[in-house]
Amino acid sequence: MDNTMIMREDQSDADLAFMDEAVLMAEEALHAKEIPVGCVLVHDGRIVARGRNRTNEGRNATLHAEFDALRHLLPDRSHSVTPQLVRPFTPQLDDVLAVSGGANDPAQRKVWQTPLKGVALYVTVEPCLMCASAMRQVGIDKVFYGCANDRFGGTGGVQSIHSDPRLLYAPPYPAVGGYRREEAIMLLRRFYISENTSAPNPKRKNNRVLKTDIPEVAPSRSPSLASRSSTPNLAPPSPAPAPLAPAIPTI
C-alpha cells in the first residue's frame, strides 16, 4: 500500500545496531521453530526490552514479537516493580473527557498520556494490524522495521494505522522500513523452506531451494503499484501451515 522505506545509505549506524539486535531475536525465534520475527524497544539510547515471536510456544496468537517485548515493560500482576519510564497504562478521566470533548475541534483535542512516550521499536518485519494499533495505543515514538508486510502490515503495508487521523485516542507515530531488510526476508525464507514440524499436517519441503535474490526496494513513499512490486510474492507454492495463524508477509 504505502510503506515508507529508507535507503541503506541514509540509515544511521545507531539504528542499524539496534536492528541487529532485533535480527538476533528473530534468529532465536527461528531456532525455536517460530516464525522468525524479532524486536527491541529502545529508550534513551539503550535497549529496555527484547521480544520475539512466541505464538506456538505460548499457544497464543497474540504473542507476536512486539507483544512479547511489551509485556516486559507494561505493568501486570507478575511485575512487582514498574519500570520508571512507563507511566500508568490506564488513561486518566481528564484525558478521556478531553478526547471526547475535542473530537470535533482538532485544536481542542488532547491525547492520552500514553505510557511509552520516548520509546522506539525496532522490529524485523513491519508490524501487523494488531501490533501497529497496540504501538499507537501505548504511544510509541517511532517504529523502525526491516521488510514490509504486504499481507498484514499496519504501518502502510495494508493499512496505515500508525498515521490514520481518524484515530483520536493516541498520537500518530512515524514508521520507516528498510533496516536490515534482506536479513529479515532471508530469515522468513529459511523458516518457510524448512519443515514446520509443529503444523497439524507437516509438509515435506526437501526439494525446495532457498532463494537468495532480494529485489530492490524503492526509496521513501512508493506508489501502491511500486510498493507491491518491491515486495513480490516470493512464497513457496503453499505457505507452511501453522497451528496459529501467523501475521507475516508472504516472502
CA–CA separation, 159 and 79 (whole Å): 34
The three three-digit cell numbers of residue 83, written as one number:
519500570
- Whether the CB-CB separation of 170 and 133 falls below 8 Å is answered with no
Q: What minimum distance in Å lies between the beta carbon of 55 and Zn ion?
A: 9
- 81: DSSP letter: S
Q: What minimum distance in Å lies between the beta carbon of 103 and Zn ion?
A: 28
Find cell 511485575 and name the residue: 79
99 versus 157: smaller Cβ distance to Zn ion: 157
CA–CA separation, 25 and 68 (whole Å): 11
Q: Which is the catalytic residue, given 28, 57, 66, 195?
A: 66
The three three-digit cell numbers of residue 105, written as one number:
475541534
Relative orientation angle of helices 13-31 and 181-193, to the nearest 10 degrees: 10
41 versus 131: smaller Cβ distance to Zn ion: 131
Q: What minimum distance in Å lies between the beta carbon of 213 and Zn ion?
A: 27
Distant-in-sequence contacts of 69-72, Cβ < 8 A, 24+ apart: 69/39, 69/40, 69/41, 69/121, 70/41, 70/134, 70/138, 72/48
Q: What minimum distance in Å lies between the beta carbon of 152 and Zn ion?
A: 7
Residue 5, SS3? strand
64 versus 180: smaller Cβ distance to Zn ion: 64
Q: What minimum distance in Å lies between the beta carbon of 37 and Zn ion?
A: 8
The three three-digit cell numbers of residue 238, written as one number:
503453499
Which residues would be at the binding site for Zn ion (CB under 5 A)? 64, 128, 131, 247
131 versus 188: smaller Cβ distance to Zn ion: 131
52 versus 64: smaller Cβ distance to Zn ion: 64
The three three-digit cell numbers of residue 183, written as one number:
536479513
* Annotation says 66 is catalytic: yes
Active site residues: 66
